[in-house]
């Protein structure tokens, strides 16, 4: 009876070896292509970015454009405690690129990529605007080497105001 058991086990292994194996996740990502047909011009934003100033750490993480969407998350910690966080979705809707923020989990107003300053090939810059928002009315991202910068601009009580952040690219251990 033992030889029959070994024969069946060997036959099962041979049959299993001939079955197609699922591709590893990294292979599936590579197969989906390096550029998204809608948002590929923003692929330069993808990655993990950090800024550290004394006891303040500001992080931004952006996914690779895929399926007409980029997902981002930001977190600010001061003295080891989270003081601000935000989810962002950049999507293509009705032939427009829309920046949709959720500061502290609350849906914000959408910003639209500004056509006159839209990113041209090789230019790592994107401008989003919504003149009807209280502040900011304009969000700009740009990249220079391994530095990602965001600048928000607008008016409060008729006075021009802006804030900016600069992050260095980092590798996240997995």
Domain borders along the chain are 36-170
| Cβ–Cβ < 8 Å for 76, 84 | yes
Peptide bond before residue 136 is cis, with ω within 30 degrees of 0: yes
pTM of the model: 0.77
Please state, in angstroms and rounded to a whole number, the distance separating the CA atoms of residues 154 and 152: 7
163 has a pLDDT exceeding 80:
yes
Query: pLDDT tens-digit profile of 13-70?
Result: 444 455 555 555 554 444 444 578 889 989 999 999 999 999 999 999 999 999 999 9
4 has a pLDDT exceeding 60:
no
What is the length of the chain?
174
Q: What pLDDT does residue 115 have?
A: 65
Query: pLDDT tens-digit profile of 144-155?
Result: 999 999 999 999
Neighbours of 145 (CB within 10 A): 8
Please state, in angstroms and rounded to a whole number, the distance separating the CA atoms of residues 111 and 138: 8
Give all strands (DSSP E) within the chain, no chain letters: 47-53, 56-62, 69-78, 81-93, 96-103, 111-113, 125-129, 138-144, 147-156, 159-170
Local confidence band at 3 (pLDDT 50, 70, 90 cut-offs): low
Q: In this structure, is the dihedral angle defined by the CA atoms of residues 98, 117, 140 and 158, taken in order, positive or negative? A: negative
C-alpha 127, offset from chain centre: 16
Please state, in angstroms and rounded to a whole number, the distance separating the CA atoms of residues 64 and 132: 29
Q: What pLDDT does residue 8 have?
A: 45
**Average confidence (pLDDT) over 65-87:** 97
Q: What pLDDT does residue 38 have?
A: 85
* DSSP string for residues in 65-94: PBTTEEEEEEEEEETTEEEEEEEEEEEEET
Local confidence band at 120 (pLDDT 50, 70, 90 cut-offs): low
- CATH number of the domain at 36-170, please? 2.40.128.20
Please state, in angstroms and rounded to a whole number, the distance separating the CA atoms of residues 150 and 155: 17
**Burial (CB count <10 Å: 0-12, 13-18, 19+), residue 144:** exposed
Q: What pLDDT does residue 114 have?
A: 80
């Amino acid at each position: 009876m033992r030889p029959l058991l070994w024969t069946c086990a060997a036959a099962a292994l041979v049959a299993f070896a001939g079955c197609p194996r699922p591709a590893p996740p990294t292979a599936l990502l590579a197969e989906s292509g390096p550029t998204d047909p809608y948002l590929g011009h923003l692929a330069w934003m993808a990655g993990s970015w950090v800024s550290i100033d004394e006891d303040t750490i500001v992080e931004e993480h952006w996914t690779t454009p895929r399926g007409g969407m980029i997902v981002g998350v930001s977190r600010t910690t001061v003295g080891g405690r989270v003081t601000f966080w935000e989810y962002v979705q950049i999507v293509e809707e009705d032939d427009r690129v829309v920046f949709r923020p959720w500061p502290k989990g609350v849906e914000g107003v959408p910003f639209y990529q500004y056509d006159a300053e839209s990113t041209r090939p090789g230019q790592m810059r994107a401008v989003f605007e919504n003149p009807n928002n209280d502040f900011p009315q304009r969000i700009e991202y740009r990249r220079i080497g391994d530095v990602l910068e965001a600048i928000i601009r607008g008016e409060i009580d008729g006075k021009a105001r802006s804030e900016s952040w600069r992050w260095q690219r980092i590798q996240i251990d997995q």
